[in-house]
Amino acid sequence: MAQEKIEYVPLDMIVATVQVRKEFSEESLRGLMASIMAVGLLVPIRVRKEGDLYVIVDGERRYRAAKMAGTFTTIAAIVEGQDLAPSAVQHRQLVANCQREGLTPMETAIAIRELMRETGWTAAEVASKLGMSQANVSKALALTELPPEIQAKVEAGEIPASAGYELNRIKDPAQQAALAAQIAGGQLTRDALTGIVRSNGTGKKAATTGKLARFKAELSGGRSVTVAGTGLDNLDTLIAWIEELLSKARKLRPKGLELATFVRILKDEAKA
């Protein structure tokens, strides 16, 4: 059985094919480049031989940073001692990246889906091999079932991955698109969306008309509480919104904030 070995491979003989990671932050790469220039490459990249070239299996960020420095002609690399099928390469990339921070939720989701397609593994098998829970694998796969325009919003961070999972449970395309727009626009929270999904059951019943709903609760002693927002048409949604407000109030109460300051903080968070 062939053993792996560490070699100093010429940078111009290394190629990067399709990788799990799609986005590479310029700022992050420059930071890594500075680190490599200061103390050297502490962790070799991993490559496989393909003809006269070396194809990256893991470590494209380190490769890019070393190349960006412009002072290195070679880089330390672990050369795979065996031929790897594309699925095996992707498996190793995904495992390596899932065990560190950096991949976006959509990148992880798409990579898991492609890995299952290449290997024929079930969601349970993927969960076991990646050290993930079956629930998290299922949620990741749910993101890949969303329409491309909603996936793009999840990828851009306009819609949280947790909200994307809930949106996938909405079966009516028009309702799904409307709710996605409200989430992206900050008009609907993930908790409120969960309330809508639960009240819908299968998600086939329309949860919102797109009009602004207003609810005023009369309390004793001449007090009242008013709640308004798109999608406010059932008790579950009302409860979800009030619980979210209470959670934020309780979190900030120890700071001794004035009520007006608390209101301003909520306003700023809603605009962010």
3-class secondary structure per residue, 108-144: HHHHHHHHHHHHCCCHHHHHHHHCCCHHHHHHHHHHH
What average pLDDT does this structure show over 24-38? 82
Q: What local confidence, expressed as pLDDT, does residue 166 receive?
A: 92
Pick the more confident residue, 101 or 240.
240
3-state SS, residue 92: helix
Q: Is the pLDDT of residue 11 over 90?
A: yes
Residue 205 has pLDDT above 50, yes or no: no
Closest CA to 195 of 244, 229, 236: 236
Which of 27, 60, 101, 155 does the annotation list as catalytic?
A: 60
Residue ranges and CATH numbers for the domains of the chain are 5-84 (3.90.1530.10)
- Backbone dihedral angles phi then psi of residue 39, each to the nearest 5 degrees: -125, 0
Total-model pTM: 0.51
Mean pLDDT on 129-146: 87
Q: Is the pLDDT of residue 229 over 90?
A: no
Report the distance separating Cα 56 and Cα 58, nearest Å.
6
Task: Note if 60 is an active site residue.
Answer: yes
The whole-angstrom separation of Cα 4 and Cα 81 is: 5
- pLDDT over threshold 80, residue 142: yes
Task: Assess whether pLDDT exceeds 80 at residue 33.
Answer: yes
pLDDT of 73 higher than 70:
yes
pLDDT at 27: 78
pLDDT on residue 257? 86
Structure-model confidence comparison of residues 272 and 167, the more confident one:
167
pLDDT of residue 107: 83
- Calculate mean pLDDT across residues 243-264: 85
State what percent of residues in the chain have pLDDT above 70.
81
Can you tell me the distance from the alpha carbon of 48 to that of 182, in angstroms, rounded to the nearest whole number? 46
Interval 167-194: pLDDT, tens: 999 988 888 998 999 899 888 888 888 8
pLDDT at 4: 65
